Amino acid sequence: MKTLKILVGVAFIIAISAFAIDKVSNSKTEVGYSIGDIATDFKLKNIDNTDISLADYKDAKGFIVIFTCNHCPYSVAYEDRIIALDKKFKTKGYPVIAINPNNPQAYPDDSFDNMIIRAKDKGFTFPYLFDDGQKIYPQYGATKTPHVYVLEKTDKGNIVRYIGAIDNNYKDTSSVTKKYVEDAIHALLKGEKVPLEITKAIGCSIKA
Amino acid sequence: MLKRILYIGLIVIFINCKGEQKITLNATDTFKSNGVEIPVYDFESFKPLLTINDGKTRVINFWATWCKPCVAELPYFELINSRYSDDEVEVILVSLDLPKQVESKLIPFVKKQKIESKVILLDDPDANTWIPKVNKNWSGSIPATIICKGGTVNFYERSFTYNELEKELKKIL
């Protein structure tokens, strides 16, 4: 009888701990930034072989951090618009920082050498960084390319102000009716709240 | 020679075996070449598929030819399609390939891989509007899968093995 009680007790503890483990692993899958979080800085290799950090940009008011890559048709569809964003907002204090989060073993098109080629062919005006070892994108919570994080530089750090898509029509620039990233930065430059802080879009999964 | 035919209002009729309910989905366009037909839907015309109440279970997989993990799990969806009767389970592969790549990438892929399941193209660029209508928690990354029957809709933003997929299917069958 006593043995039975102990067995029941042990089984109960196992059941509880299994539940606890399940809880822990659940919360682990939900990492990534929310609006208002402080985004981590990084030191990643640029296509010109220099290391780039957000802290290097002393005069910036913020950043347009875009996880993007070579192989994804959705990223490619946005390349010209990413260049336009950089040209438009770099001078206003919001430069584009592009990061390729993909594992080149899964996607050979996204190798560092191919990043250099693509950036040169398209005439990228912004740094195109390689998330070597895929350490930065999970902290941001990027799930796909392209995936944009607009950060506002403050005394407390770089605050996440917008997460999502560049605009509301990946296919056709002329059919765009909402420019989410531009609207976000215009609001920030005026010291106002970003009108639409989170948007969703189809993209190429980063995990392969 | 690739030929693209426009059928405005092409009607695809889903009739269940008992003929209890008829649901029509109106494709906005159809790509046709090499003996493969891919109907095209915007979200409005696609939406009724998620709520058909005809007793049949539907496995709806969002994928694209450029998505490696999607392509890797397609054989499991094909296997479900072949192992379960058409009256019981319908597998629908919803491609999110770019429309301009349907003839150059999607149709050759479907042909080469001899895909038996129904393949349709969802072409609706305003994703921020329709993604939350599929599931409010979906980030928009693929692969993503819906298993639904009647009003019950289970959503998965993940990859599957065959056993995992069948296990989820059996929960709702």
Taking only the tens place, the pLDDT of each residue in A59-69 is 999 999 999 99
A contact test, residue of B96, B122, B126, B142 with most A CBs within 10 A: B126
Strand partners, B62: B94, B144
What pLDDT, on the 0 to 100 scale, is given for residue A50? 98
Smallest Cβ–Cβ distance between B139 and the set A72, A143, A168 belongs to: A143
Mean pLDDT in residue range B89-100? 96
- pLDDT tens-digit series, residues A47-88: 999 999 999 999 999 999 999 999 999 999 999 999 999 999
Rounded to whole angstroms, the Cα distance separating B99 from A135 reads 34
Residues of A engaging B, defined by a Cβ cutoff of 8 Å: 71-73, 77, 106-107, 143-144, 164-165, 168-172, 175, 178, 180, 199-208
Interface predicted TM-score (ipTM) over 0.85 = no
The residue with tokens 């429309």 is: B99
Say whether pLDDT at A97 is over 80: yes
3-state class (DSSP) for residue A138: helix
The whole-number pLDDT of residue B108 equals: 97
Residues of B within 8 A of A168 (CB-CB) are 125-129
The Cα of B95 is separated from the nearest Cα of chain A by a number of Å equal to 12
Mean per-residue pLDDT, A129-148 = 96
B125 touches chain A (CB under 8 A): yes
Compute the distance between CA of residue B75 and CA of residue B41 in angstroms, rounded to an integer.
24
A150 Cβ neighbours under 8 A, 6+ residues apart = A62, A63, A64, A65, A94, A160, A161, A162, A163, A181, A184, A185, A188, A194
pLDDT for position B151: 83
Q: A24 pLDDT exceeds 70?
A: no
pLDDT tens digits for range B103-157: 999 999 999 999 999 999 999 999 999 999 999 999 898 999 999 998 899 999 9
Q: Is the pLDDT of residue A9 over 60?
A: no
| Cross-chain Cβ contact A202/B132 below 8 Å | no
Is pLDDT at B3 greater than 70 in this prediction?
no
- From A165, A172, A205, residue closest to B69, measured CB to CB: A205
Q: Quote the distance between the C-alpha of residue B141 and its chain's center.
A: 16
Give the predicted TM-score (pTM) of the model: 0.83
- Which pLDDT belongs to residue B59? 98
Q: Does B156 touch chain A (CB under 8 A)?
A: no
B94 in Cβ contact with B60 (< 8 Å): yes
Query: Dihedral angle at the C-alpha atoms of A185, A188, A193, A198, nearest 10 degrees?
Result: 30
How many A×B Cβ pairs under 8 Å? 69
pLDDT value of residue B25: 79
Cβ within 8 Å, pair A165-B142:
no
Distance CA B63, CA B60 (A): 10
The upper half-sphere exposure of residue A106, i.e. CA atoms within 13 Å in the direction of its Cβ, equals: 18
Yes or no, beta carbons of A168 and B139 under 8 Å apart: no
pLDDT, tens digit, for every residue of B51-86?
888 999 999 999 999 999 999 999 999 999 999 999
CA–CA separation, B169 vs B173, rounded Å?
Answer: 6
Mean pLDDT over A79-106 rounds to: 97
- What is the rounded CA–CA span in Å between residue A71 and residue A103? 11
**Mean pLDDT, residues B25-31 taken together:** 89
Q: CB contact, 8 Å: B138 with chain A?
A: yes
Measured between CA atoms, the residue of chain A closest to residue B66 is: A72
pLDDT recorded at residue A2: 58
